[in-house]
Amino acid sequence: MPIIAPLRGWRYHNFPLPLVISPPYDVVDEHKVRELRSRHPYNIIHLEESREGKGPEAYAAAALLWQRWRQEGVLRPESSPALYFHSHTFHWQEKLYTRRGFFCLLKLEPYGRGILPHEETLARARSDRWELLRACRAHFSPIFGLYLGGEEETEALWREITKLPADLDFSDPEGQGHKLWVVKEKSLIEEAQALLASRVILLADGHHRFETALRYQELFQEEGNHDWILAYLASARDPGIVVLPTHRLLRLPLKDKLQKLLARAEETFFVVRRVPVSSLLHPLPAETIGLYAGREEAFLFSLRPGVDPVRVLPGEHPPAWKRLAVTVLHRLLLERSWELSWKEEDMGYTHEAAEALARVDRGEYEVAFLLPPPSVEEIAAVATSGAKMPQKSTYFYPKVPAGLVIFSLDNG
C-alpha cells in the first residue's frame, strides 16, 4: 500500500525558472548538458551532472555546490510541508496535451509492495546515482509513478486544486507550459493520501534512483528522511500521459534479399506492399509493424488470424509480454521468420518516425522498423505479471523536469 507525505521542498528563490530547470540527468547527452550549463550558472544540471566528471571529486564538488546554493539563498525551503500540484502542457504530433500530477514524498518499500517496476536497470547508472545521493543527501529530480485506478477521485481533487491560484505559471525554452500549486491545506493533503492508499503505482521513470534510495535506506536502523523518496505521481488514465514509440534501425545487409524475406514473413504475417511512405510517419495501429527499406519502399506487417504469439513463442514470459509489438518484431519476425542475429552496435533507436526514415535514406542504416507505442495498459499488464518490458521499448514524454522541487534528507 503506497504511503505518501508532504514535504518542505527546496525551490529556487527569485531566479528565472525556465533557465534553471532541466530534463532528468538520464535523458540529456553531452551536447545538451553543455547547453543547459550555459543557460544559467544556477541551472540544476550543475548539481545533477558535475563538470568534474564521474569520479569521487565530481560528487564532492556537487555536494559543495549544493551546500553553497542553500547558504547563499539560491534555494530555499518551504515554510511548512506541502504537496506540489503540477500541470505540464505540451505538443506532440500537432496535438496539445496537459499532464497533471503532484510532487510528494513516497515511502520506500521493496518492489511488489504497491510499487511495480517495468524495466531493468544498469549497474553503472545505479552506481552514479548512489555516489551522488551519498554525497549530497538530496533528491534533485523525482521518480515518476503512475497510479492505477481512482479516476473519479483524481478529477474531484483536481477540481479543488484548480480553484486555487497557481503559485507558478511559466513556459520553458522548449515552449512547454508549467503551472505549480503549493498546497498546504490539511484537507487536500489528506484527500491525496486517501486517493493513493489503496492504489498500485507503476514506476514509469526513475528505476535507478528508486533502487539507489532503497539501498541507501538500508544503511540506517532508525526511521528518518532516508525512508522516503521524492516522487511525481499521476493517474495512469490522465489524458496527458504520452508514451512514445521506439523505432528500430538495422545495419544488416537485407535489401538484396528483401523479397525472399518478405515471402518467408507471409507464412506468419499479412504483408502489405507498396505502402505510401507517408503512412509510416503517422502513429501505427496497435498490432502493426512498418518497414522502410529506402528508395520509397515501405511495407506493413500484421499477424495472420490464428497466429497467437502466446502459443508460438517459447519461454516462460507472460502473455502480456509476448503480445507486445516489440516482442512480435524481435522474436517472431526478425529471429523466428527471418533467422537474423545482430550485434548491439548494428541496431539503432529513435522515437521519431521521420528521423528513422531519414537515417535510412542517408545510408546510416539499411532498414527501419516502425513500431506503435506501447499503451500504459500494456506496460501495466507486463509489470503486474511480474515481468519487465523489453529494453528500449518505453519512453514517457515529456520528462518531469528536475529542479522544480528538491527533497533534502537533512531538511525535508
Q: How far apart are the first and last CA of the chain?
A: 22
Grid cell listed for 270: 499479412
Cα–Cα distance between 265 and 377 in angstroms, integer?
28
pLDDT, tens digit, for every residue of 301-345?
A: 999 999 999 999 998 899 999 999 999 999 999 999 999 999 989
Grid cell listed for 115: 510499487
pLDDT, tens digit, for every residue of 241-289?
A: 999 999 999 999 888 899 999 999 999 999 999 899 999 999 999 999 9
Mean pLDDT over each residue of the chain, to the nearest integer? 95
Owner of C-alpha cell 552496435: 345
186-197 and 151-161 are packed helices; what angle lies between their axes, rounded to 10 degrees? 160
pTM score, two decimals?
0.93
- For the chain, which residues score pLDDT lower than 70? 51-54, 412
Residue pair 407/13 in contact by the 8 Å Cβ criterion = no
Predicted confidence at residue 412, as pLDDT, reads 63
Predicted confidence at residue 121, as pLDDT, reads 81
Predicted confidence at residue 206, as pLDDT, reads 94
